[in-house]
Amino acid sequence: MMKRSLTCALVLALTALPAGAANLVKTYSYFAIGGRTLDDIETQLSKHGPQVKSTGSRHPGATQMAFTTRVSYAESSGSCRVADAIVTVKVKVILPEWRSSRKADADVKLFWDTLSADIKRHEERHVEIAKNHARQLEDALKASYPQKTCAEVKARAAQITAAELARHDQDQVRFDRVESVNFESRILRLLRYRLERIETGQLPPA
C-alpha cells in the first residue's frame, strides 16, 4: 500500500540548471513484529503496520513519497521557454521485520519468507511507478512550447505537473487494486514455487 505524501515545489529561477534525468532518493525503515503462528503474524501486522492516511487502516508495508520539481527558464527575443527541468522523487519504504522466527515452526517460516518477499516486491513496484512518472514529468516539462512571457511558461509548467501527478496517483491506486484482488492466488503460487525449489535443493529448508 502506498502512503501518499506528495510535495511538489517549483523553483522558479531564470538561470539554467545542470542537465539531468529524474532522480530517486530511497531509504528504508522497519517495524518489528512478533508471534509464532500465522494468526499471530496477521495480528501483529494489523497492530504494528504503518497506518495509511488515505485508508485510515494499517498495512503490512508502505511507501511514502515526495516529488520535487525544479524548473529553470530562458528568455529571448520576446519569448520564454523551459531551459531545464529536474524532478526528484524521495521515497521511504517501510517494511516488517519478524523477530520470532527462531521459535516458529518450519511451515510458518516458509510462509513468512514468501509473504515478506511479496510485501517488499509490492512496495518496490510503487517506487518504480513513481520513478517512471517523475521521468515522464521531466520530459513533458522540457518539451513544453515556448510562450510570450515566463509567467505563461510557469503557469503551463504548473498545469503539466498537476496533470502528471494526477496520472501518477491513478496508477498507484490501480496497482493496489489489482494486487489486492490477486493476493491470495499470488501467495499460493509463490508458496508452491518456493516449496518446489526447496525439494529440488535450489533453496535451503526454512
Polymer length of the chain: 206
**Does residue 111 form part of some domain?**
yes
Domain count within the chain: 1
* Measured distance CA(106)–CA(1) in Å, rounded: 28
Q: Does the CA dihedral 171-176-177-183 come out positive or negative?
A: positive
**Does residue 191 form part of some domain?**
yes
**Does residue 131 form part of some domain?**
yes
**Does residue 205 form part of some domain?**
no
Phi/psi of residue 134, each to 5°?
-60, -40
Q: Is it the case that residue 13 has pLDDT exceeding 50?
A: no
What does pLDDT average to over the chain? 84
Q: 52, 62 in Cβ contact below 8 A?
A: yes
Nearest to 63 by CA among 16, 119, 113: 119
Q: Is it the case that residue 4 has pLDDT exceeding 50?
A: no
**Does residue 95 form part of some domain?**
yes
| Full residue range of the structural domain in which residue 158 is found | 2-199
**Does residue 93 form part of some domain?**
yes
pLDDT for the residue numbered 203: 63
**Does residue 204 form part of some domain?**
no
pLDDT for the residue numbered 190: 80
**Does residue 78 form part of some domain?**
yes
